[in-house]
Amino acid sequence: MQGMSERQYAAHVGLSRGAIQKAKAAGRLVMNEDGSIDAAASDRLRAEATDPSKTRKAPKEPKLKPVPEAAVSAVGDTLREQGMAAPVTGGGTTFLQAKTAHEVLKAQERRIRLAKLKGELVDRDRATALVFRLAREERDAWVNWPARVAALMAAELETETAAMQKVLEAHVRAHLEELAQPRIAL
């Protein structure tokens, strides 16, 4: 065989075999005596006969969108949490690392969803409201306590009830202010 087969020439010029067969039938290719295609002569003939505006342009490199640094660092954090090697920030993340981090996050999300369904997790807003309500009830009980016990204590100590209640209220309020200083951060 002196030249190229239809398949070889199709791969050489980047066209389909069917397009090469059509060009051969239309006489736009130079053929050797043995039926093979003379690649160099056929390339020149195609270049002369082809309208440049109708040729396919070489495929451009796909434009890749830059990945935000926050996303890359999140992938690194997830991989580090699982004890895997994380990429250096700014050093780029491989597809395998990103895919691994994605799968780890999906597994964590499913574990959390399952724990919530089992009742092992509670809603944060609901828990915060419950703690606030319980603290308010405790505070109100302490604020009302001096009025309830002042008379009994005054009788035991043989002192004036109003004075006893006033002193108790002052000390209870001071103590409640001390207790209010630490803030719970959930």
What stretch of H or E contains 103? Answer: helix 95-118
- Confidence label for 75 from pLDDT (cuts 50, 70 and 90): confident
Q: Tell me: the pLDDT tens digits for 92-139?
A: 667 777 777 778 888 888 988 898 888 888 888 888 899 889 989 998
How far apart are the C-alpha atoms of 142 and 136, rounded to whole Å? 10
Average pLDDT score, the chain: 83
* Encoded amino acid at 7, one letter: R
- Confidence label for 50 from pLDDT (cuts 50, 70 and 90): confident
* 3-state secondary structure at position 2: coil
Q: What local confidence, expressed as pLDDT, does residue 81 receive?
A: 79
Domain boundaries, the chain: 6-51, 69-118, 124-179
- Confidence label for 56 from pLDDT (cuts 50, 70 and 90): low
Angle at 121 between CA 115 and CA 126, to 5 degrees: 150
Alpha carbons within 13 angstroms on the beta-carbon side of residue 172 total: 19
